[in-house]
Structure 1
Amino acid sequence: MKVLVSDRISQVGISNLEEKGIDVTYDIELTYQELLEEIEKYDGIILRSMTPLNEEVLKRATNLKVIARAGSGYDNIDVDAASKEGIIVLNTPGQNTISAAEQTMALMLALSRNVPQAHNALQKAVWNRNKYMGVELNSKTLGIIGLGRVGGNVSKRAKSFNMNVIAYDPYIPAKRGKKLGVELVDFEELLKRSDFISLHTPLTEETHHILSKEEFSKMKEQVRVINVARGKNVDHAALYEAIKSGKVAGAALDVHEEEPINEDYSLLELEEVILAPHLGGTTVEAMDNVSIDAAKQLLHVLLEERLPRTPLNVPVIKPTEMNLIKPYIKLGEKIGGFYSGWIGGRIEQVEVIYQGNIAKQDIEPVTTSLLKGLLNPILNENVNLVNASLIARERGIEIIESRSETSNKYSSLITVKIKNNGTTKRISGTIFDEQDLRIVNIDNYGIDLIPEGSLLVTSHQDQPGIVGKVGTLLGENGINIASMQLGRNKAGGDAVMVLNIDQEGGEKIEEKILEIDGMLDVSIFTL
């Protein structure tokens, strides 16, 4: 077996491969053309973020069986192209969690006590104790944005400094916060209460510049900001102005909007800012951990012919059952996606009830597909049929399954109950004529919806004129209605409307619809 290591990793991982008889080529100087010419020689490859495994390269990887990413991010790997070529792709998430958490605490302490500034002064033989007077962490409020792996570990360490820890994470259930001893709050409250704010979110459309001019204006006076997550989570121009105005006392940044930084970087001007060159996961231990994990999982695939621990693209459906359950796998994903678009937010419990013929089949792939549809729109991770259940458990989501081989109305019915903060939402779906996917019930409102394309969902009071006003408003904005479904519990009571529309209208349309008398809620999304 031959394995190429094309990016710098710890020697311990390479040694683990060689001890198992693997012929390892360590070449971190390969050009792209050389990679194209050499890749066909190898059964496996271990890489980090510098080697481009695109479709062109992977088509030439005729012997490649496994790609092991020593780290979590995999933007440089075309996972779909690898799947088409039958190549397993894996990563090593979580192996640098402790390093990132400790870097956060190091920067927080350095920021609170002006350690780099005082050191720089002493190097110039300037002794000025008053200028570099700091503040204690003790009894201060730390606001954590993103309570995932790193954020959770930061909270534990901050509490050992007797800090009051609050957190904002719209996708974390309350019980995870309670387990960590962290108070979950909304975003506005976190901004107003925090003495220190630390970011630990992925970079998504939602989190891009999550801290900008408006957010800085809402913070406490003399707040301090730490970012060891993604550089573009913070609007650096707005941060510069907030520090210059005195609103923000200082910032410590391990990540930056553009990396590497250059001499024009405005924050270099400010003594109140501590900068590091993206060192969050760069420790001897973290580098060893990702190297060992990548090598170990690669060996699972090559020598033991079993699935890696953290695959990114391996299906887990038995071939003999594929034809029977494939439509239900797709239906499960559509139901999950419908909930995320309709309600979204944090989830505490997912209960899946299988009734009729589907209850006699292997339902695990259907449940994992439902979780994939549920989580993919809200997480910056590749949630797939392998890792969906693992990711749900990591986020503290309880999964319950039940079966009944009888069904009153449909030959097969899947009902999903999703619970959050004492509120439960219910969605049911079925299959007509083997391939015709339908959502047939939303919160006990009977409908007949094809879960495809752009959808507009409303909750409103059942009163004359609402449907017409929505239609008129959409028409005035050039949005065509393809189909309409209505459901109500009783005349004059609450009702639900689902429209298939030809294109989304954006937030302004939602705002206008909400202004209609009797309208309770509206969501526009695409399945």
Structure 2
Amino acid sequence: MMKVLVSDNISQAGIEILKDSGVDVTFNTELSYEELLEEIGKYDGIILRSMTPLNEEVLSYADNLKVIARAGSGYDNIDVDAASKYGIIVLNTPGQNTISAAEQSIALMLGLSRNVPQANEALHDGIWDRNKYQGIEINEKVLGIIGLGRVGGNVATRAKAFNMEVIANDPYIPAERGKKLGVELVGFKELLQRSDYISVHTPLTDETFHILGKKEFAQMKEGVRIINAARGENVDTYALAEAVKEGKVAGAALDVHEEEPLGEEHPLLKLKDKVIVSPHLGGTTVEAMDNVAIDAAKQVISVLKGNLPRTPLNAPALQPEAMKEIEPYINLAKKLGSFYSQWAEERIKELEISYRGELAEKNISPITTSLLIGVLNPILDATVNSVNAALIAEERGINIIESKSSTTDRYSNLIELKVETETGVNNLIGTVFDDTDLRIVEINGYKVNAIPEGNLLITNHTDKPGVIGQIGTLLGENDINIANMQLGRNDIGGEAVMVMGIDNKLNSKVKEEIFAIDGISDIKDVKL
């Protein structure tokens, strides 16, 4: 009989599914670390949330463990690499709280519009004041959604039912999805300027950290209202507090916070007449807790019957001989994809991957998958891995084309990534020297020899004296060391591309100063 340990509190609905399938279930949420080491080897599977530590030491005792299921999305308490080493499949249950999160956003928007929490508190204090808590309608107001993924899309659908005009900004969503939802896709600046309400639904990345800050608030309508039930650090809450005090922002409703729990001295808490806060309740509903437990249980049963999980965090590796041959190119492909997403930042319509030289005779499927993971992971909230990468690309409306050629003009093996966007075509070419030395050798037709590693500064500029020198001076003045530099140009005095390895990530101030240099037409920074 299959044995499964449930080591954290989950809904009884998931436990019943396991039992109904003939699984011997042990429910024990009180195991000490030492007891976990003693017990883990008895089980074929384990379902947990965030409290059980599955580090490499624990997993080294898990002699019979075949599957780890996280009932929820986050998995910081699981050493996925160690699990892979021991041949244990790890899965999570993302998306099961989508409806709950979307409904929380709508609840915050309605509560903010009609002053529901404030009026409730006043009435409990014996104060009857209908004038003070007069609200506004959301009917015919413009809702700007930043991030039109699963939750953002569900918010859009519900807002339209309230007769709101919905616009959205998401550079990685195809236009077809906007049309299907009845949502107008607009530029970020236009969204800030047009919206009566702005609701944030993006993952937390380097690009979305403080996506709403002092500069963005200044561009918004007078009296705009802000809703955030996504990630606390997407909004600069100190800048938000100032904007509320100044009257630029009429009100805000936040379910997530830059620090959780929210500090008692945070300035937003002193603005309770205009600011609603809740303790990260977006995915915490009876239904969501049932959903994650049921999903985890069903996937555990499927894996124990010999099937692949629906949402794996790792996947079985290739045979060692085959992996050794293509592993450097798997690594290169992932770097190329990640470089592209951070560098281009445009909606992808078609992605063509060309393999040239001896590589064309190899099993290229894992390489393509690795490239898709590199492209998609920096821009999505969902976990993208070797099992679901192609499916997610298809869902995003990205057409994938593979081609092979046994000949190459410069190197023994090349991978070329050609990407069609709504504004044109971009391309990257990479190769591997001596089985380990990864290089980007061409960017949009400019030949370079760049190392895809660490912090990279990429510029498009006019090839004229002084430009590179001024960049170096600015970096030096800001205590940023240059590790290496590559320049690609086709004509003296024409356009050129520079890729510079730097020891520290650029801040927005330094980027703005570099962009202001005469001759610079574009600047991007990439972290690999």
Q: Could you say whether these structures have the same fold, taking a TM-score greater than 0.5 normalized by the shorter chain as the test?
A: yes
The residue identity in structure 1 corresponding to 2:101 is A
Pick which of 214-223 and 145-154 moved more.
214-223
The residue identity in structure 2 corresponding to 1:110 is G
The residue identity in structure 1 corresponding to 2:287 is E
Offset, 1:370: 1.2
Q: Alpha-carbon deviations, 1:456-513, whole Å to 9, x = none?
A: 4332223455455556666777766665544333344322233455666655554454
Contact 2:160 2:166 in 1 (8 A): yes
Query: Using a 3 Å threshold, how does the CA distance of structure 1 residues 120 and 482 change in structure 2: closer, same or farther?
Result: closer
Offset, 1:375: 3.1
- Map residues 57-136 of structure 1 onto 2, 5 A cutoff: 57-123=58-124, 126-136=127-137
Q: Alpha-carbon deviations, 1:302-335, whole Å to 9, x = none?
A: 2x22221111122453555323322221221222
The residue identity in structure 1 corresponding to 2:422 is N
- Inter-partner Cα distance in structure 2 for 1:134 and 1:258: 30
What is residue 16 of structure 2 aligned with on the other side?
15
SS in 1 for 2:163: coil
What is residue 317 of structure 1 aligned with on the other side?
318
Offset, 1:193: 1.9
What is residue 200 of structure 1 aligned with on the other side?
201
Contact 1:145 1:200 in 2 (8 A): yes
- Inter-partner Cα distance in structure 1 for 2:517 and 2:257: 44
- Inter-partner Cα distance in structure 1 for 2:109 and 2:170: 21
What is residue 183 of structure 2 aligned with on the other side?
182
The residue identity in structure 1 corresponding to 2:295 is D
- Map residues 419-498 of structure 1 onto 2, 5 A cutoff: 419-464=420-465, 466-467=467-468, 484-498=485-499
Contact 2:198 2:225 in 1 (8 A): yes
Offset, 1:349: 2.8
The residue identity in structure 1 corresponding to 2:296 is A
- Inter-partner Cα distance in structure 1 for 2:509 and 2:257: 32
The residue identity in structure 1 corresponding to 2:199 is S
Query: Using a 3 Å threshold, how does the CA distance of structure 1 residues 33 and 240 change in structure 2: closer, same or farther?
Result: farther
- Give the gaps of 5 or more residues in structure 2: none
Q: Alpha-carbon deviations, 1:401-439, whole Å to 9, x = none?
A: 223344455443321112322221111123345444333
Query: Using a 3 Å threshold, how does the CA distance of structure 1 residues 7 and 389 change in structure 2: closer, same or farther?
Result: same
Offset, 1:142: 0.6
Offset, 1:366: 0.7
Q: Alpha-carbon deviations, 1:165-190, whole Å to 9, x = none?
A: 12233433444333322223333332
What is residue 297 of structure 2 aligned with on the other side?
295
User: Match for 2:285 among 283, 286, 289?
Assistant: 283
Identity of aligned residues (%): 66
Query: Using a 3 Å threshold, how does the CA distance of structure 1 residues 125 and 202 change in structure 2: closer, same or farther?
Result: same
The residue identity in structure 1 corresponding to 2:371 is L
Contact 1:316 1:365 in 2 (8 A): no
Query: Using a 3 Å threshold, how does the CA distance of structure 1 residues 432 and 246 change in structure 2: closer, same or farther?
Result: closer
Query: Using a 3 Å threshold, how does the CA distance of structure 1 residues 342 and 261 change in structure 2: closer, same or farther?
Result: closer
- Map residues 145-160 of structure 1 onto 2, 5 A cutoff: 145-160=146-161
Q: Alpha-carbon deviations, 1:94-141, whole Å to 9, x = none?
A: 111111112221222222223334444555565543333221111101
CA-based RMSD of the aligned residues comes to: 3.0
Pick which of 95-104 and 473-482 moved more.
473-482
- Map residues 361-376 of structure 1 onto 2, 5 A cutoff: 361-376=362-377
The residue identity in structure 2 corresponding to 1:277 is P
What is residue 384 of structure 1 aligned with on the other side?
385
Pick which of 135-144 and 281-290 moved more.
281-290
Contact 2:7 2:28 in 1 (8 A): yes
- Inter-partner Cα distance in structure 2 for 1:140 and 1:363: 50
TM value normalised by structure 2: 0.88
What is residue 414 of structure 2 aligned with on the other side?
413
